[in-house]
Structure 1
Amino acid sequence: MVIWFKSNKFLVALILLIIPTFYTLLRPGFFWMQDDLQAFRIHQLDKCIQDLQIPCRWVPDAGYQYGYPQFIYYPPSVYYLGEIFNLVGFQFIDAVKILFILGFIFSAITMFIFLRSLLGSWPALVGAILYTYAPYKAVDVYVRGALSEFWAFVFFPVIFWSIYQLIKKGFVKYLAWMGLSIGLLLFTHNLMSMIFLPIAGVWALLWLILEKRWQVLTKLILGGVLGIGLAATFTLPVLLEKPYVHIDSMLSGYFDYRQHFVNLEQLFLSNHFGYGSSYLGSGDDLSMTTGVIHWAAGLLAVALGVLNFRKQKKLSLVILTLAVVDLLVLFLIHQKSTFIWEHLSMLTWLQFPWRILADSIFLLSLLGALAVYLIPQVKLAKVLGVALIAAVMVFYGGFFKPYQWYDISDADKFSGKSWEKQLTISIFDYLPIYATLPPTSKAPLQPEVLEGQVSFSSYQKGSNFQKGVLTAGELSLIRLPLYDFPGMEVKVDNQKITHWNNDCRGQEFCLGLITFKIPAGQHILEARLNNTPVRMIGNLITLTSIIVLGVLIFLSRKHAKNHR
Structure 2
Amino acid sequence: MAKKLKIWALLILLIIPAFISLIRPGFFWMQDDLQAFRIQQLDKCISDLQIPCRWVPDAGYQYGYPQFNFYPPGVYYLGELFHLIGFQFIDAVKILFVLGFVLAALTMFIFLRSLFGPVPAFVGALIYTYSPYKAVDVYVRGALSEFWSFVFFPLIFWAIYSLIKYGGKKYLAWMGLSIGLLLTTHALMSMIFLPLAALWGLLWVVLEKKWGVVLKLIFGGLLGLGIGAFFILPAMIEKPFSHSESMLGGYFDWRQHFVDINQLFISNHWGYGSSYLGPGDDLSLSTGHILWIGALLTTVLSLIWYKKYPKISTAVFVLNTLALLVLFMTHQKSSFLWEKITILAWLQFPWRILADSIFLLTIVSSAGLFIIRQAKIFWPVALAVIIGVFVLYSSFFKPYEWFNISDNEKFSGVLWEKELTISIFDYLPIFAKLPPTSKAPDFPEIMDGKASFLSYQKRSNWQKGEVEVFEMADIRLPLFDFPGMKVWSNGKEVIHSHNDCRKQEFCLGLISFKLAPGKHIIKAELTNTPIRTLANSLTVVSMFAIALLFIKSKYEKSDY
> After TM superposition, is the score higher than 0.5?
yes
Mapping of residues 432-443 of structure 1, within 5 Å: 432-443=429-440
Kept in 1, the 8 Å contact 2:70–2:427? The answer is yes
Shift of 1:29: 0.2
Unpaired runs of at least 5, structure 2: none
Which residue identity lines up with residue 29 of structure 1 in the other structure?
A: G
Mapping of residues 293-332 of structure 1, within 5 Å: 293-332=290-329
Please state whether the residue corresponding to 2:382 is helix, strand or coil: helix
Counterpart CA distance in 2 for 1:453 and 1:378 is 89
Aligned to 2:195: 198
Shift of 1:391: 0.5
Kept in 2, the 8 Å contact 1:63–1:439? The answer is yes
Counterpart CA distance in 1 for 2:177 and 2:199 is 19
Question: Which residue among 350, 355, 371 is the counterpart of 2:352?
Answer: 355
Which residue identity lines up with residue 236 of structure 2 in the other structure?
A: L
Aligned to 1:47: 44
Aligned to 1:343: 340
Which residue identity lines up with residue 222 of structure 2 in the other structure?
A: V
Counterpart CA distance in 2 for 1:328 and 1:296 is 17
Counterpart CA distance in 2 for 1:218 and 1:202 is 15
Question: Which residue among 107, 110, 133 is the counterpart of 1:110?
Answer: 107
Aligned to 1:213: 210
Which residue identity lines up with residue 353 of structure 1 in the other structure?
A: P
Please state whether the residue corresponding to 1:558 is helix, strand or coil: coil
Counterpart CA distance in 1 for 2:373 and 2:106 is 26
Aligned to 2:223: 226
Aligned to 1:56: 53
Q: CA RMSD in A?
A: 1.1
State TM-score, norm by structure 2.
0.99
Kept in 2, the 8 Å contact 1:183–1:228? The answer is yes
The CA deviation string for residues 15-72 of structure 1, in whole angstroms up to 9 with x for no partner, is 1110000000000000000000000000000000000000000000000000000000
Please state whether the residue corresponding to 1:499 is helix, strand or coil: coil
Please tell me whether residue 285 in structure 1 is matched to residue 282 in structure 2: yes
Shift of 1:8: 2.9
Shift of 1:10: 2.1
Aligned to 1:146: 143
State TM-score, norm by structure 1.
0.98
Question: Which residue among 77, 87, 94 is the counterpart of 2:91?
Answer: 94
The CA deviation string for residues 179-225 of structure 1, in whole angstroms up to 9 with x for no partner, is 00000000100000000011111110110110000010110000000
Counterpart CA distance in 1 for 2:92 and 2:544 is 30
Shift of 1:385: 1.0
Aligned to 2:16: 19
Shift of 1:377: 3.4
Kept in 1, the 8 Å contact 2:108–2:154? The answer is yes
Shift of 1:379: 3.7
Unpaired runs of at least 5, structure 1: none
Aligned to 2:260: 263
Shift of 1:5: 4.5
Aligned to 2:134: 137
Counterpart CA distance in 2 for 1:496 and 1:43 is 31
Please tell me whether residue 246 in structure 1 is matched to residue 243 in structure 2: yes
Please state whether the residue corresponding to 2:471 is helix, strand or coil: coil
Question: Which residue among 496, 500, 521 is the counterpart of 2:497?
Answer: 500
Counterpart CA distance in 2 for 1:478 and 1:119 is 67
Question: Which residue among 128, 146, 149 is the counterpart of 2:125?
Answer: 128
Kept in 2, the 8 Å contact 1:126–1:368? The answer is no
- What is the number of residues matched between the two proteins? 560
Please state whether the residue corresponding to 2:554 is helix, strand or coil: helix
Please tell me whether residue 380 in structure 1 is matched to residue 353 in structure 2: no
Aligned to 2:173: 176
Kept in 1, the 8 Å contact 2:323–2:361? The answer is yes
Mapping of residues 383-532 of structure 1, within 5 Å: 383-532=380-529
Question: Which residue among 5, 8, 16 is the counterpart of 2:5?
Answer: 8
Which residue identity lines up with residue 535 of structure 2 in the other structure?
A: G
Kept in 2, the 8 Å contact 1:10–1:122? The answer is no
Aligned to 1:538: 535
Please tell me whether residue 558 in structure 1 is matched to residue 555 in structure 2: yes
Counterpart CA distance in 2 for 1:238 and 1:85 is 26
Counterpart CA distance in 2 for 1:310 and 1:106 is 35
Which residue identity lines up with residue 297 of structure 2 in the other structure?
A: L
Please state whether the residue corresponding to 1:359 is helix, strand or coil: helix
Counterpart CA distance in 2 for 1:409 and 1:79 is 19
Mapping of residues 71-86 of structure 1, within 5 Å: 71-86=68-83
Shift of 1:378: 4.3
Please state whether the residue corresponding to 2:274 is helix, strand or coil: coil
Please state whether the residue corresponding to 2:498 is helix, strand or coil: coil
Shift of 1:557: 1.2
Counterpart CA distance in 2 for 1:301 and 1:380 is 14
Please state whether the residue corresponding to 1:8 is helix, strand or coil: helix
Counterpart CA distance in 2 for 1:551 and 1:129 is 35
The CA deviation string for residues 333-389 of structure 1, in whole angstroms up to 9 with x for no partner, is 000001111111111100000000000110111111111111153441111111111
Aligned to 1:158: 155
Kept in 2, the 8 Å contact 1:478–1:518? The answer is yes
Kept in 1, the 8 Å contact 2:168–2:556? The answer is no
Counterpart CA distance in 2 for 1:526 and 1:90 is 33
